């Protein structure tokens, strides 16, 4: 590798604490002022199976994990089988040799040493951290501090177990890795946490969700931290209730959001359309996993891009945007909540498991986020659907001496049901006008497309794949321009058509090229190449860099 990337991999059964060890390792690297990216890979089960966590770290900003590890700690035979070839040139494999079976690498009796402690299954994650500490020549006192802070249950057991592992690895390791200190420390967040903080900053009051991977981490984060942030979480009986309750809450002025994944979002189509008709500003989070149907619940995909653009029946303005990094997720989620209220229409944060459940260090400035107040009625007779130049009617919340009627039927300006031809047309025009105002606002005030790097060759991508692409390009030192549409509905063709005619590739995580279709249809961009991956796994930047190198000559 041409820069100082170091990758730590820990793998084992569900319940062995590999994810926790990954998080601890990431925080440990962060305390060395290094940048980190952590990926958790796990199947849909609670005990057994095969889980792993990868932490890649560098003294420069890093946007992806790498599949090849410098240090791999493999807690069971299945992990050895799966990962024995996932090593860098000088990579070191540390495995559990409790069964007596010999492998390439350093055997440590990880399981049998754990036997004398309470919870021998749960404690083995500690072995990963102790191995890491020994392999990078970290002082034992520092290891103790980490263990005491991060593994507080049965702390004494954890400490003595960590010491045993540390000493054994230290004794057997041929040469230690040198990890340089970086320059700055920044907190580490998952994408889900970043989204939760972003919407809290923009004034979210209520978060409604029915559990579904990969949106569940937002529900969990806001359930644990929301109260502190002024947000409450509610888990109703199904996604239909989720969306309808959120719409109900908005009419009181409460800023409301729902979180779901593809299947749950299907159940919300009817309510999404209701939100469009009554003009309820609800923010939806749509987390993608491989589909169709139940699909592959705990893995990643971008197969719902086109599905997300036109949810619900009928014509009304929809807003869809997808964050290209964990940092961007913070600002964009806040921006979408604000836009929903400014234009009184449903908005969607479109993302993927790879973003919500991966983590990286972030440099966030909450002060940059504002809570944009919606248009509020001040005097005179109130009409919920009063026609205005922008199409946006001022809001008013109960209790009020004025009558405030939000109506799912086509309605007149007062909110009474109508079937009159002229009124039907007028309300269609009002909603269409809102969309036109929204587009003007996006054009004038909002960054709708990101561009990274320079070079004639264009790499189009979106969502979390942007992170994989940026990492691949930095890693391989490629000269090209990454073009990431942040907004997908309305599609920001005003910022994209200039790229037509340039040599290009579209990189996305689906099999049919949905972003490519949009670029063709909306901007007349005819990409020359495409790289698509749809096996549920995010791209490995090394493999992606190889493919890109062949295209950018």
Partner 1 sequence: MNQELTTPVENTWCPGCGNFGILNAFKKAVQILEAKGVDRTYLILSAGIGCHGKIFDYVPLSGLYSLHGRSMATIQGIKLGNPDLKVLTFAGDGDAFGEGISHMIFAAKRNADITVIVHNNGTYALTTGQFSPTSQKGFKGPSSLEGNPEPPINPLSLMLEAGATFVARGYAGRIDHLALLIVEAVLHEGFSYIDVLQPSVVFNNTYKEYNSLVEIIEKPAERLEDAVQRAKRFDRMPIGVFYNVTKPVFHKEFYGEWNPVMNRLSHEERLQRILSILNNRSMKEVEDMKK
238 contributes a contact to partner 1 by CB under 8 A: yes
Q: In 3D, which of 191, 222, 438, 445 has the Cα closest to residue 324?
A: 191
Helix residue spans in 446-489 (DSSP H): 465-476
For partner 1, the binding residue among 389, 401, 422, 553 (CB under 8 A) is: 401
Cβ atoms of 58 and 31 within 8 Å: the answer is no
Beta strands in 486-524 (DSSP E): 487-489, 504-508
Candidate list 10, 11, 212, 249; residue touching partner 1; CB under 8 A: 249
Q: Show the tokens assigned to 40.
A: 């958790």
Phi, psi (rounded to 5 degrees) for 452: -125, 140
Give the per-residue contact string, 408-427, with partner 1 (x = CB under 8 A; - = no): xx-----xxx----------
Choose between 153 and 172: whose C-beta lies nearer to partner 1: 153
120 binds partner 1 (CB under 8 A): no
Q: What 3-state class would DSSP assign to 499?
A: helix
Q: Mark 253-292 with x for binding to partner 1 (rule: CB under 8 A) and - for no binding.
A: xx-x-------------xx--x---x--------------
CA distance 201 to 192: 14
For 378, the 3-state DSSP assignment is: coil
Among 47, 102, 178, 237, indicate the residue that binds partner 1 (CB under 8 A): 237
User: How many whole angstroms separate alpha carbon 150 and alpha carbon 23?
Assistant: 10
**Residue with Cβ nearer partner 1 (85 or 145):** 145
Interacting residue with partner 1 among 154, 160, 223, 225 (CB under 8 A): 225
Q: What is the bridge-based pairing of β-strands 458-460 and 283-288?
A: unpaired
Nearest distance from C-beta of residue 122 to partner 1, angstroms: 21
- Please report how close the Cβ of residue 183 comes to partner 1 at its closest, in angstroms: 13
Cα 403 to Cα 248, 252, 373, 502, distances in angstroms: 16, 13, 22, 56
What is the spatial distance between Cα 302 and Cα 313, in angstroms, rounded to a whole number?
Answer: 23
d(CA 506, CA 93): 36
The stretch among 115-123, 225-233, 301-309, 545-553 that binds partner 1 (CB under 8 A) is 225-233
User: Segment near partner 1 (CB under 8 A), from 97-105, 154-162, 394-402, 539-547?
Assistant: 394-402
Cβ contact 458:500 at 8 Å? no
Residue 332 in the binding site for partner 1 (CB under 8 A)? no
- Closest approach of Cβ 406 to partner 1, in Å? 4
Give CA–CA dist 414/423, Å, rounded. Answer: 11
Q: Dump strand ranges (E) for 60-200.
A: 69-74, 87-96, 106-108, 188-190
- Residue 370 or 454 with smaller CB distance to partner 1: 370
The 38-77 contact track toward partner 1, x by CB under 8 A, reads ----------------------------------------
| 241 part of the interface to partner 1, by CB under 8 A | yes
Beta-carbon neighbour count of residue 411 at 10 Å? 20
Q: How far is the CB of 415 from partner 1 (least distance, A)?
A: 8
Strand ranges (E), 202-255 = 206-209, 232-234
Among 118, 119, 185, 512, binds partner 1 (CB under 8 A): 185
Cα–Cα distance measured from residue 41 to residue 37, given in angstroms and rounded to the nearest whole number: 13
Residue of 3, 371, 451, 456 that binds partner 1 (CB under 8 A): 371
Q: Could you say whether residue 206 binds partner 1 (CB under 8 A)?
A: yes
Count of residues of this chain found to bind partner 1 when the rule CB under 8 A is applied: 70
Decide if residue 379 touches partner 1 (CB under 8 A): no
**Nearest residue to 202 via CA among 362, 50, 370:** 370
Nearer to partner 1, 99 or 238 (CB): 238
Residues engaged in binding partner 1 (CB under 8 A) = 27-28, 30-31, 141-142, 145-146, 149, 185-189, 197, 200-201, 203, 205-206, 208, 225, 228-230, 232, 234, 236-238, 240-241, 244-254, 256, 270-271, 274, 278, 364, 366-367, 369-371, 397-409, 415-417
């Amino acid at each position: 590798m041409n820069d100082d990337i170091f990758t730590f991999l820990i793998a084992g059964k569900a319940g062995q604490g590999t994810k926790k060890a990954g998080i601890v390792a990431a925080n440990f690297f962060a305390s060395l002022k290094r940048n980190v990216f952590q990926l958790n890979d796990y199947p849909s089960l609670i005990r057994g199976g095969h889980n792993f966590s990868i932490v890649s770290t560098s003294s420069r900003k890093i946007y992806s994990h790498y599949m090849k590890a410098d240090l791999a700690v493999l807690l069971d035979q299945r992990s050895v089988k799966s990962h024995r070839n996932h090593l860098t040139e000088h990579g070191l494999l540390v495995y559990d040799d409790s069964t007596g079976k010999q492998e390439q690498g350093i055997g440590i009796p990880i399981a049998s040493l754990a036997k004398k402690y309470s919870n021998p299954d749960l404690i083995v994650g500690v072995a990963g951290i102790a191995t890491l500490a020994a392999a990078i020549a970290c002082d034992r006192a520092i290891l103790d501090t980490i263990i005491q802070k991060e593994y507080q249950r049965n702390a004494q057991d954890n400490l003595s177990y960590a010491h045993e592992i540390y000493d054994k690895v230290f004794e057997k390791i041929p040469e230690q890795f040198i990890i340089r200190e970086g320059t700055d420390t920044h907190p580490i967040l998952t994408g889900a946490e970043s989204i939760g903080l972003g919407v809290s900053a923009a004034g979210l009051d209520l978060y409604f969700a029915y559990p579904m991977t990969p949106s569940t981490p937002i529900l969990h984060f806001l359930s644990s931290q929301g109260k502190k942030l002024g947000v409450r979480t509610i888990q109703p009986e199904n996604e239909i209730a989720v969306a309808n309750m959120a719409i109900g809450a908005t009419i009181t002025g409460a800023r409301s959001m729902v979180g779901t994944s593809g299947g749950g979002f299907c159940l919300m189509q009817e309510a999404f359309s209701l939100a469009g008709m009554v003009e309820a500003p609800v923010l939806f989070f749509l987390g993608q996993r491989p589909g169709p149907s139940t699909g592959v619940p705990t893995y990643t995909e971008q197969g719902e891009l086109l599905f997300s653009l036109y949810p619900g029946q009928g014509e009304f303005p929809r807003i869809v945007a997808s964050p290209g990094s964990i940092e961007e997720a913070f600002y964009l989620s806040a921006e979408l909540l604000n836009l929903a209220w400014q234009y009184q229409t449903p908005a969607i944060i479109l993302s993927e498991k790879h973003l919500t459940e991966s983590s990286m260090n972030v440099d966030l400035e909450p002060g940059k986020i504002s809570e944009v107040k919606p248009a509020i009625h001040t005097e005179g007779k109130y009409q919920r659907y009063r026609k205005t130049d922008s199409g946006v009617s001022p809001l008013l919340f109960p209790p009020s001496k004025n009558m405030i009627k939000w109506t799912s039927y086509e309605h007149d300006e007062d909110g009474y049901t109508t079937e009159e031809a002229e009124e039907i047309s007028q309300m269609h025009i009002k909603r269409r006008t809102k969309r036109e105002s929204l587009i003007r606002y996006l054009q004038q005030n909002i960054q709708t497309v990101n561009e990274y790097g320079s070079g004639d060759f264009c790499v189009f991508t979106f969502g979390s794949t942007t992170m994989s692409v940026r990492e691949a390009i930095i890693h391989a030192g490629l000269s090209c321009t990454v073009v990431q549409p942040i907004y997908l509905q309305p599609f920001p063709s005003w910022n994209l058509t200039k790229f037509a005619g340039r040599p290009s590739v579209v990189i996305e995580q689906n099999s049919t090229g949905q972003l490519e279709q949009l670029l063709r249809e909306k901007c007349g961009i005819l990409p020359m190449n495409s790289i698509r991956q749809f096996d549920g796994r995010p791209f490995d930047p090394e493999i992606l860099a190889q493919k890109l190198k062949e295209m950018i000559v």
